Amino acid sequence: MARTRSPLLGPASRPVAIPDDIDDPSLPKAAGVIELPLHIAWSEPSLAFDLSRRSDRLRVYEQVLREGTEDDVRYYIDVDELTRVFDELVLPPYVRAAWLEWFRRHERRRS
């Protein structure tokens, strides 16, 4: 059995869901009190998050960026808000790097 992580296995080998149309303003976005789907928040009991509360919104963003599909990212993530709060999010290095590259390509300025 290997005693170290392989670059071909583990969480860092998973693709990061960044849909091409994430910044399309016509996309419907989640609002109000939500519960994340089981494939994102798979621990029990499920929790409700109030997206009008900044602390809840940051936790949702962290979970969706780590575990979500492209459809999840489209629905739960507002790219303008993500741009503002990105530096506060606790994300794995590979997720952070993928989004930093997206910001660079789309010339998004983070505050």
What is the per-residue pLDDT across 4-47, written as a single tens digit (0 to 9) for each? Answer: 555 655 556 678 999 989 989 999 999 999 999 999 988 767 78
Q: Which two tokens stand for residue 82?
A: 């993500």
> Do 12 and 91 touch, CB atoms closer than 8 A?
no
Q: What is the pTM of this model?
A: 0.84
Task: Specify whether the backbone of 89 is left (phi greater than 0), alpha (psi in -120 to 50) or beta.
Answer: beta
Count of C-beta atoms within a 10 Å radius of residue 55: 9
User: How high does pLDDT run on average in the chain?
Assistant: 87
Q: How many domains does the chain have?
A: 1
Does some domain include residue 43?
Answer: yes
Give me the torsion for CA of 72, 78, 82, 84, rounded to 10°: -170
In a domain, 21, yes or no: no
Do 60 and 36 form a contact (C-beta atoms < 8 A)?
yes
Query: What six digits make up the tokens of 105?
Result: 């390509």
Residue 111 lies in a domain: no
